[in-house]
Amino acid sequence: MSMISLIKSREILDSRGNPTIEVDVTVNNHKYTAAVPSGASTGTHEALELRDQNSKRYGGKGVLKAVNNVEKKLAPLLIGKVNCIQQKKIDDLMLKADGTSNKSKLGANAILGVSLACARAGAGESGKELYQYVHSLLPTKTNSKISLPRPFFNVINGGMHAGNSLPFQEFMISPQAKTFREALRIGAEVYHTLKGIIAKKYGKLATNVGDEGGFAPPIRTAEEGLELLIKAINKSGYSGKVDIAMDCAASEFYKNGSYYAPKKMTSGQLVNYYLKLLKKYPIISIEDPFEQEDFQSYAKLRKRSEKSGIQIVGDDLTVTNVDRIKTAIQEKSCNCLLLKVNQIGTLTEALQAVALAYSAGWKVMVSHRSGETEDTFIADLAVGIGCGMIKSGAPCRGERTAKYNRLLRIEEELNK
Ligand code: PGA
Ligand code: ZN
């Protein structure tokens, strides 16, 4: 039997220097650990990240209450009572103990830490790699296969992730390559070429990086960012071989019914603006093009860009939440789900979101958060659900490369 015998938790730091939670689950004297990431441009419908609000510690951002909830509230439910391979039972027990719709009683960060550490334990105790184990937890009818994802590298940062005045949050490059290893190399090469171009045009200071490892040059418009990417791709010798994706995170530049991108626009004008960008640049994917309540404008853009095969990704709109995804499916708002486990708070619910997205014919892209840890869980998640896409920031900053480097190792193992 692989009973859970001990659960411990601690406050650690994330990549922005803010506290976050880490959980150890012990089974048969083996310790399995998982850490929880944290967003900056969080959707209003995300599950609640419990913070202490004690201004004397970490500016109120401490997570000691969540740590306490893991050890005093969640641990007693599970220790000596469940086998670590019973992921659904574990998650259900925690959901029941919380009892709220957004995990506000115990904290989604507390619950997720336990959920992910238990998944690691389940994998370890059943002699599987984590990506194999995740695959085994997927509902069988999803029909997806274990596979390496195509990376989307966020190389220009704006919005809430950078100190510049660029309203759009992420400009990503995604190499077309036969292997993950090759995609990573191409991504890193273009990244370094881009660094040189930015240094020459804006000075060396402009090559300081934002939260996700991308550069944050003093630009204000999407066109300026996209032109920089095209130049870098061409100069690196990959013209036509690297696609572009954007995460607009538009809720962050929406105010009182208007978008500031940076010019003031209505949602209708913004639809046309995106269509213009799609015509001019090799953009294959646009995430959160409108604010998080506007299912209809997403649908308009999706419909009008349908012929180009562009991917419309829901992040703040759908928040990895089955109910929000159902609405987006009904409204035909998107054709791809951004998957962030901490938006919902348990692995089981995240996998249910995946199954629902697949059943509607959507694609899925696994995502990190802007505040990350060294935990590489999402690399295995992307491989295990076989979704084919991951975004984990630039090929730079340890918490980002940790995921990419884990994918290199998985690829090597799968090719043995
Ligand atoms: P966040 O950004 O982690 O700050 O929410 C990532 C994203 O919006 O995709
Ligand atoms: Zn996003």
Say yes or no: 402 and 283 in one domain.
yes
Taking the chain, what is the end-to-end CA distance rounded to the nearest angstrom?
A: 31
In a domain, 373, yes or no: yes
Name the CA radius of gyration of the chain, rounded.
21
Average pLDDT over the chain, rounded to an integer = 97
In a domain, 359, yes or no: yes
Say yes or no: 217 and 104 in one domain.
no
- Which pLDDT does position 141 carry in this prediction? 80
User: Mean pLDDT over residues 60-82, rounded?
Assistant: 98
Query: Which of 16, 367, 390, 400, when mutated, tests ligand 1's pocket best, judged by the most ligand atoms within 8 Å of its CB?
Result: 367
Say yes or no: 123 and 154 in one domain.
no
What CATH number did the domain enclosing 90 receive?
Answer: 3.30.390.10
* Atom number in ligand 1 closest to CA 369: 3
Say yes or no: 118 and 251 in one domain.
no
- Which pLDDT does position 323 carry in this prediction? 98
* Atom number in ligand 1 closest to CA 39: 3
Say yes or no: 231 and 350 in one domain.
yes
What CATH number did the domain enclosing 180 receive?
Answer: 3.20.20.120
How many folded domains does the chain comprise? Answer: 2
Say yes or no: 196 and 121 in one domain.
no
Considering every ligand atom shown, identify the ligand nearest to the alpha carbon of residue 160 and give its number: 1
Say yes or no: 123 and 155 in one domain.
no
Sequence-distant (≥ 6) Cβ neighbours of residue 37 within 8 angstroms: 14, 20, 342, 368, 369, 371, 372, 373, 375
In a domain, 132, yes or no: no
- Which pLDDT does position 64 carry in this prediction? 98
- Which pLDDT does position 192 carry in this prediction? 98
Query: What range defines the domain where residue 275 resides?
Result: 150-414
In a domain, 141, yes or no: no
Q: Is the predicted pLDDT of residue 139 greater than 90, yes or no? A: no
Say yes or no: 123 and 156 in one domain.
no
User: Distance of CA 363 to CAs 142, 151, 154, 335, Å?
Assistant: 12, 14, 19, 6
Considering every ligand atom shown, identify the ligand nearest to the alpha carbon of residue 39 and give its number: 1
- Which pLDDT does position 68 carry in this prediction? 98
In a domain, 72, yes or no: yes
Q: What is the pLDDT of residues 19-64, one digit of tens each?
A: 999 999 999 999 999 999 999 999 999 999 999 999 999 999 999 9
User: Mean pLDDT over residues 229-234, rounded?
Assistant: 98
Tokens of 253: 């530049």
Tokens of 285: 């994917």
**pTM for the full model?**
0.98
* DSSP letter for each residue of 252-289: GGEETTEEESSSEE-HHHHHHHHHHHHHHS-EEEEE--
Q: What is the pLDDT of residues 265-280, one digit of tens each?
A: 999 999 999 999 999 9
CA separation for the pair 202, 360 (Å, rounded): 45
Say yes or no: 256 and 358 in one domain.
yes
Query: Which of 45, 154, 340, 364, when mutated, tests ligand 1's pocket best, judged by the most ligand atoms within 8 Å of its CB?
Result: 340
Say yes or no: 64 and 181 in one domain.
no
Say yes or no: 260 and 313 in one domain.
yes
What's the 248 CA to ligand 1 centre distance in angstroms? 10
Considering every ligand atom shown, identify the ligand nearest to the alpha carbon of residue 288 and give its number: 2
* Atom number in ligand 1 closest to CA 249: 8
Q: What is the pLDDT of residues 184-206, one digit of tens each?
A: 999 999 999 999 999 999 999 99
Say yes or no: 282 and 165 in one domain.
yes
Q: Which residues are near ligand 1 (CB < 6 Å)?
A: 39-42, 247, 249, 315, 367, 369-370
What's the 161 CA to ligand 1 centre distance in angstroms? 8
